[in-house]
Structure 1
Amino acid sequence: MTQRATKRPETFQKPAHWTDAPPPQPQAPAKQQDPDGLSPTRYGDWVQKGIAIDF
């Protein structure tokens, strides 16, 4: 079995777009009012041509 490298080669240079900063924390999505009433994505039904379908 081949040994896995645990260090980068000494000739490795980090690309300019790499950063050592931690990733930003996710933010909660903004609450939005549904103008048509109950959201089909929340309740699992879609209405097509007057027929509610589940998929």
Structure 2
Amino acid sequence: MRLSDDSSSIDLRPLRYQFPKVTGDMYDDNWLVIGGSVTTTPSASPPRARLKARTAQ
């Protein structure tokens, strides 16, 4: 999923589930791991930034 306008964007994407197989409560034991990035462009303030999300190990 990508959300953007003239000065910034946010990208989110599903990477994997926390575990390969559900071991207990199927609604709480297997979280979806999301990757993403945030980008802003130069303007009066703030300065240009690019941030990347890290996945849980």
TM over 0.5: no
**By percentage of residues, which structure has more helix?**
1
TM-score between both structures, scaled by the size of structure 1: 0.19
More strand by share: 2
